[in-house]
Chain A
Amino acid sequence: MQARRFEREAFWAYAFIAPPVLGAIAFAFLPMAASLFLSFTRYDVLTPPQWIGLDNYRRLFNDDFFVGRTAVNTVFYLMGVPLGIAAALTVAVLLNQVGALRGLFRTVYFIPSVCSIVAVALVWKWIYRADLGLLNMTLTSMGVRDPPAWLNEPELVKPSLIFMGVWTSIGFNVVVYLAALQTVPRHLIEAAELDGANAWQRFWHVVFPVVSPTTFFLVVTGTIATLQNFDQVYVMTRGGPTYASATFMLYIYVTGFQYFQMGYASAMAWLLALGVLLVTRSHFALAKRWVHE
């Protein structure tokens, strides 16, 4: 055992780690502190920030629009996340039973995950078009009269976006689940079969508990991404119709970068971040009941 191996080992090490560590300070820690400061100011980028105490937060709690955004985010989270995960787990379990073609199916399912959300959104916008979109053309040819304007109906816009979201994310989630399914011990499945468990019982009592850490990972990361959803909504609907799909993130973007109320937008950002933190904490708290490590 040598105490020191290289000449000036620590010097080299600090030089090696300097870029990411300085990056973390410059692009994460300082901005975070600045963001907290800005949330107590009035700031339009052009003139220096002006301290206004808790005014932004007070305004936020009386902002009906803000409450509405919370509701929109909640719908995307409560519907989108479970649906995406349930679809992916179903497909992964089925895919895990086929041999030769598994790789091919996996490749196909993964394609949407490679593509940019903008390109994908433009295609889906065209599919959902009221007059001559692919969906309504198909429905009309099947005899459906007056098919709905998917993205222009306040009740339909969120389910339509959520369905598209499931389509976009299924490949990624399936790949993660397939890796987890390889860890399900064969002898457990066989033992369950010997005990006369049917396919559903084998899934529910053996497979699901074994992959539960993966489900937990997908729930947590999926929730964090969903609560900060911007690109899809911005390209597809700009938050319409009548703000039915306007997410929190969209409101922050518009407030900060179109109205240049950066102080108010910073206060919103902190509330969203706290919301994300609270939801994540409750996921971790609930995990004890269903996640098997």
Chain B
Amino acid sequence: MKVLPRSRALVYAILIVVAVAVLLPFAFMLSTSFKPPREIYEVPFRFIPRQPTLANYKSALLEVNLARGTLNTVAIAVPSTLGGLLTASFAGFAFAKLRFPGREALFAMLIATMMVPGVLLLIPQFSAFAEIGWVDTFWPLIVPGAMGTAMATFMMRQFFKGVPDEIIDAAALDGATPFYLFTRIVFPLARPALITLAVFGFKGAWNDYFGPLVYLSSPDKMNIQQMIAATQNAYGGDPGILMAGSALAMVPLLVMFLFAQRYFIEGIATTGLK
């Protein structure tokens, strides 16, 4: 769309105002996180602390034990993400390229689960996991994702549909098994789709609050989100520690976002992943 030069300046002005509004809370968080207690409540607010300190980060990592929370989060996020990548790509490949009775019906059934509101599943899942003794363990948070969600399977199927049939036919003529074809030839081709899926899977597991809130109760098993949320009530809700904790909970994903931005944007723009 062509715009007049004068309105071009206005467009930039609005975009900059929005950018500042988006960044301001982060600046506020970082600034507070580096302040010693006596500077935190100073009016007017200063963005650059006079005597910056790392004490809040030290407390957040050691006293609040976010170090432990980070390990717990990784122990949940990594197996559920990697497991999900493997299972969803095997299944996505089968739905896209193999022939078997009931293919369309089974796929439709899988897709139907995406429309079930999560609220319905919460209580029966909890009581089933309680029945087998999995409450207050990581398993309820790992296993459903590691078995391959409908969304992940759908995405991988879309990707594998783009793999030329000639590759499949050639492998079949050579007498290869589907397993060999998949692991040696097809799976390596899927790298971009796998990275997108991994990025969203890891983000989901890292940021998850509701799942751990329901399933994890021992303080030493809590994930990082639970721990920073709990900090509100401990340590007198010390804003310095709270903001340091929030910053720490954001850092890994921000780093991942900056390096893998392309995959975030493509994943959203093409499939509406969240």
Surface stretch bound by B, among A59-67, A144-152, A249-257, A284-292: A249-257
Q: Determine how close the nearest CB of chain B comes to the CB of A255; give it in whole angstroms.
A: 10
Neighbour of A193 across the interface among B2, B175, B261, CB < 8 A:
B2
Q: Is the CB of B149 within 8 A of A116?
A: no
Q: In the complex, are the beta carbons of B8 and A97 less than 8 A apart? A: yes
Known: A20-B147, A108-B19, A257-B214. A123 touches B120 (CB 8 A): no
Q: How far is the CA of A10 from the CA of B215 in the complex (A)?
A: 38
Task: Determine if A111 is an interface residue (Cβ-Cβ < 8 Å).
Answer: yes
Question: Within the assembled complex, what's the spacing in Å between the Cα atoms of A257 and B122?
Answer: 10
A231 touching B19 by the CB < 8 A rule?
no
Establish whether residues B268 and A112, one from each chain, have CB atoms under 8 Å apart when the complex forms: no
- The answer to whether B121 touches A137, judged by C-beta atoms less than 8 angstroms apart, is no
Q: How many A-B residue pairs have CB under 8 A?
A: 285
On whether the beta carbons of B254 and A269 are closer than 8 Å, the reply is no
Instruction: Find the B residue at minimum CB distance from A18.
Output: B91
Expressed in whole angstroms, the minimum distance between the Cβ of B272 and any Cβ of chain A is: 6
Alpha-carbon distance A279/B266, docked complex (angstroms):
29
C-alpha spacing A214/B216, complex, angstroms: 38
CB neighbors of B among A89-132 (8 A): 91, 94-98, 101, 105-112, 114-120, 122-127, 132
Partner of B209, one of A31, A118, A171: A118
* Shortest Cβ gap from B11 to chain A (Å): 5
When distances are taken between beta carbons in the complex, the residues of chain A under 8 Å from B274 are 172, 221
Q: Place the interface of chain A in its size category.
A: 35 or more
B residues less than 8 Å from A138 (CB atoms): 45
Give the complex CA separation of A5 and B175 in angstroms. 9
Given that A24-B150, A122-B242 are contacting pairs, would A221 and B127 also be in contact in the complex, using a CB cutoff of 8 Å?
Answer: no
Whether A272 contacts B229 by the Cβ 8 Å rule is no
Q: How large is the interface on B (under 10, 10 to 19, 20 to 34, 35 or more residues)?
A: 35 or more
B195 in contact (CB, < 8 A): no
- Contacts of B4-46 to chain A: CB distance below 8 A: 7-8, 11-12, 14-15, 18-19, 21-26, 28-29, 32, 41, 43-45
A32: Cβ under 8 A from any B Cβ: yes
Contact present for B124 and A30 (CB under 8 Å) = yes
Q: Is the CB of B15 within 8 A of A94?
A: yes
Interface string of A158-174 (1 = CB under 8 A from B): 00000000010011100
Report 12 cross-chain contacts, Cβ distance below 8 Å, ordered by A residue.
A10-B98, A12-B98, A28-B113, A31-B120, A107-B258, A119-B250, A123-B29, A123-B243, A141-B43, A170-B18, A221-B274, A256-B123
List the 4 shortest-distance A-B pairs measured between CB atoms, nearest first.
A23-B147, A179-B269, A34-B124, A5-B172
Chain A residues within CB distance 8 Å of chain B: 2, 5-7, 9-10, 12-14, 16-17, 19-24, 26-32, 34-35, 38, 43, 45, 91, 94-98, 101, 105-112, 114-120, 122-127, 132, 134, 137-138, 140-141, 167, 170-172, 175-176, 178-179, 189, 193, 199, 202, 217, 221, 224, 228, 230-231, 234-235, 249, 252, 256-257, 262, 265-266, 269-270, 272-273, 276
